[in-house]
């Protein structure tokens, strides 16, 4: 049996791939979305798609695709949407205040699909089915996703599992760049091919970032006439990434070079940071600030040094300083990346799930 639209036409491969890609279907659910592999009706298949998308925090996208590929005339249980949105994402009270009755209703909805996916006996406890498939209970998933959106996207403070999440501690989307595209030209001020700038000047700055033993450091050094004239080291939070450390070092080096009143070559072994500086649509605040300072001073040039490239004195010194900065650098504060917020929320959600399993009467 194949997927079909309301008109009776089968869904083509492109549509199927779109559904797979948008829902990022993996693990044991993948066989259930392939054409000709199950004997469920189109309605049941559509329900499975919607259920999987919602269970992975993609409820709005799940509903969009559901309605797109299975129009209203083909859907036999339109109340499913209202039940999901009313019970798991209440507009007035919020998902953090889901009642016990609503939790049971969500669990009963999820149970139907868990039985279809696993092929287990109807007597199998719902709690056990969730563990078997690794699908988090919907009421926990809804709370986790709500907190993620509130803190990471809407810029609101939120409490979750007894922990207060301050949105200012996490990286927020920055407004579009204020630099006019006509003025945004960095190509003529960067070197390519993984080499140090060919037009070497008396002043060279080397930057680097490091993460050792869960500690993050950022540093740069200034070399003039083969002598080290300045060093800078900063220690970041363990939650900050190496990319953030490398971008901070670049920003600090650019700010220093802006006050030098001389031609300065800044060399970095972070190609991703240099690419970010070149991007016009960058959303990182620290990168935008570095871009503005860099564009204001035409005497500053950038160069890329391959990480595997040895024998460059400044590069080796910057690498050593970055490692030292993980322990004795000046404390620096940067917003935590969104990936760290997701990791925190996932750990709290798994702990809640484990607690419900331990205290459950079935399973």
Angle between helices 100-118 and 138-152 (to 10 degrees): 110
Distance of CA 139 to the CA centre of its chain: 22
Predicted local confidence at residue 324, as pLDDT: 95
> So what's the pLDDT on residue 91?
43
Pairing of strands 158-160, 163-165: antiparallel
Bin 57: left if φ > 0, else alpha if -120 < ψ < 50, else beta. Answer: left
Render the burial of 4-28: b for 16+ CB within 10 Å, e for the rest: eeeeeeebeeeebeebeeebebeee
**List of the chain residues with pLDDT < 70:** 1-96, 182-201, 307-310, 363
Angstrom distance (rounded) from CA 230 to CA 138:
55
Neighbour count for residue 148 (Cβ, 10 Å)? 21
Contact 324, 217 (CB under 8 A): yes
Scan for tokens 């498939």, then name that residue. Answer: 133
Three-state DSSP state, 2 = coil
H-helix or E-strand spanning residue 340 = helix 338-359
Closest CA to 78 of 63, 91, 92, 88: 63
Q: What confidence score (pLDDT) does residue 309 get?
A: 53
The Cα 175–Cα 173 span in angstroms is 7
Domains, the chain, in order of start with CATH, read: 10-91 (no CATH), 98-172+335-362 (no CATH), 181-334 (3.30.420.10)
Which distant-in-sequence residues (6+ apart) come within 8 Å of 144 by Cβ?
Answer: 57, 136, 160, 345, 346, 348, 349
Beta bridge partners of 266: 205, 302
- Token couple for 238: 């363990």
């Amino acid at each position: 049996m194949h997927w079909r639209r309301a008109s009776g036409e089968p869904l083509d491969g492109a549509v199927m791939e779109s559904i797979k890609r948008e829902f990022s279907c993996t693990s044991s659910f993948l066989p259930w979305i392939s054409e000709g592999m199950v004997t469920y009706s189109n309605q049941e298949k559509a329900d499975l798609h919607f259920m999987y998308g919602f269970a992975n925090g993609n409820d709005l996208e799940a509903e969009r695709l559901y309605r797109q590929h299975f129009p209203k005339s083909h859907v036999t249980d339109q109340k499913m949407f209202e039940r999901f949105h009313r019970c798991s994402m209440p507009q007035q009270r919020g998902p953090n205040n889901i009642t016990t009755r609503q939790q049971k209703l969500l669990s009963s909805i999820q149970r139907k699909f868990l039985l279809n996916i696993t092929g287990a006996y109807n007597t199998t406890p719902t709690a056990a089915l969730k563990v078997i498939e690794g699908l988090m209970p919907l009421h926990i998933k809804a709370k986790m996703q709500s907190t993620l959106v509130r803190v990471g996207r809407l810029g609101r403070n939120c409490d979750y599992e007894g922990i207060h999440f301050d949105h200012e501690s996490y990286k927020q989307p920055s407004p579009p760049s204020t630099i006019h595209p006509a003025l945004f030209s960095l190509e003529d001020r960067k070197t390519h091919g993984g080499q140090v700038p060919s037009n070497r000047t008396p002043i060279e700055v080397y930057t680097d970032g490091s993460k050792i033993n869960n500690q993050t450091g950022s540093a740069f050094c200034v070399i003039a006439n083969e002598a080290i004239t300045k060093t800078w080291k900063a220690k970041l939070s363990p939650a900050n990434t190496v990319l953030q450390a490398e971008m901070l070092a670049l920003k600090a080096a650019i700010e220093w070079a802006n006050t030098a009143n001389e031609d300065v070559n800044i060399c970095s072994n972070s190609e991703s940071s240099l690419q970010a500086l070149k991007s016009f649509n960058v959303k990182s605040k620290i990168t935008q600030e570095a871009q503005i300072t860099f564009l204001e001073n035409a005497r500053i040039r950038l160069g890329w040094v391959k990480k595997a490239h040895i024998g460059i004195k400044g590069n080796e010194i910057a690498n050593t300083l970055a490692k030292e900065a993980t322990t004795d650098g000046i404390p620096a504060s940067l917003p935590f990346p969104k990936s760290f917020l997701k990791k925190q929320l996932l750990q709290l959600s798994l702990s809640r799930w484990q607690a419900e399993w331990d205290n459950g009467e079935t399973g």
